């Protein structure tokens, strides 16, 4: 059971990261590359949150019911950090998408092979 949980959480996160990485490296359409970046970020955030889990722990919120019982709570720090990281990831995606729109307007194509004005 433990192994299954471990594999499913870590495994999904790592799979997402690899899928996103593949999209960034292998796809030609600019939009797909940006989506790939977003997927990579998602995988990383999932990985980060999974780190904080403690077995049989509950959400770190001190609602009136849990105040008097001594329960094990999961680590709240990764959750707070991921909150920040999600917003930052969104901001980068937004800027990247605006660049895609501008590149598309200018060159009338969204393929990364065509947009190579700047040479080595």
Partner 1 sequence: MVISPVHYIALPLMAAFLIPLFGKINKELVRIIPGLVLLYLSYVSVTLMTQVLNGPMIVEIIAGWNPPWGINLVFSPFSGFLVSMMTMLGFLIWVYTYNFKPEVDYSQTTKFYTLFMMLITGTIGIVLTGDIFNLFVFLEITAISSYALTAFYRERDGAEASFKYILIGSFASFFILLAIVILYTQVGTLNMADIAQKMPAVDPYIKGTILLLFFIGFGIEAEMFPLNGWAPDVYTQAPGPIAAIFSGMVVKAGIYALIRVIFTLFDVPAVLNLLLIMGLITMVIAEVIAMRQERIKRMLAYSSIGQMGLVLVAFSIGTREAIFAAIFLMFNHAVIKGLLFLSATYLVYNSKDKEIKELDGMGKLMPFTSFMFALGAIAIVGLPPFAGFWSKLYILIAAADAHMIAVMAIILVISVIEIVYYFRVVHRIYFRKATSNTDIKIPTYNAKFTLLVLGLIIVVIGVYPDLIMGIIDKAAADLLDKQNYIQSVLSLR
Partner 2 sequence: MIKKVLIFIFIGIIGFYLVDIFSQIPFGEKRDNVGDFYLEQSVQTLKVANSVTGIVVNFRGFDTLGEVTVLFLAALGLSSIMYRRKKQGEKEVRAKKPSSRILQVGAQIIFPMVVVLGAYVFIHGHLTPGGGFQGGAIIATASLLMLITYRKFKVNHNTVSWIESIAGVVFVSVGMVGLLKGMAFLENFLDVGELNSLLSGGIIGIIYVAVGFKVAAELTGVIDTVLLNNRPDNNNENN
Contact positions vs partner 2 (CB under 8 A): 2, 5-6, 9-10, 14, 17-18, 21-22, 25-26, 47, 50-55, 59-64, 67, 72-73, 75-77, 79-81, 83-84, 87-88, 90-92, 94-95, 97-99, 101-102, 104-106, 108
The residue (of 69 and 117) whose beta carbon lies closer to partner 1 is 117
CA gap 77, 80 in Å, rounded: 5
What's the token pair of residue 20? 């996103």
Q: Is 37 in the site for partner 1 (CB under 8 A)?
A: yes
**C-alpha to C-alpha distance for 78 and 91, rounded to whole angstroms:** 20
Which partner in partner 1, partner 2, none is near 118 (CB below 5 to 8 A by kind)?
Answer: partner 1
Length of the chain: 120
8 A C-beta contact, residue 113 and residue 28? yes
């Amino acid at each position: 059971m433990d192994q299954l949980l471990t594999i499913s959480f870590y495994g999904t996160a790592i799979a997402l990261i690899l899928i996103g990485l593949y999209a960034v490296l292998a796809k030609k359409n600019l939009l797909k590359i940006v989506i790939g970046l977003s997927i990579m970020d998602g995988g990383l955030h999932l990985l980060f949150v999974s780190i904080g889990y403690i077995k049989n722990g509950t959400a770190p919120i001190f609602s009136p019911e849990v105040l008097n019982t001594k329960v094990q709570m999961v680590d709240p720090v990764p959750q707070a950090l991921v909150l920040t990281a999600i917003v930052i990831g969104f901001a980068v995606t937004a800027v990247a998408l605006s660049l895609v729109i501008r590149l598309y307007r200018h060159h009338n194509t969204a393929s990364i092979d065509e947009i190579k004005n700047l040479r080595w």
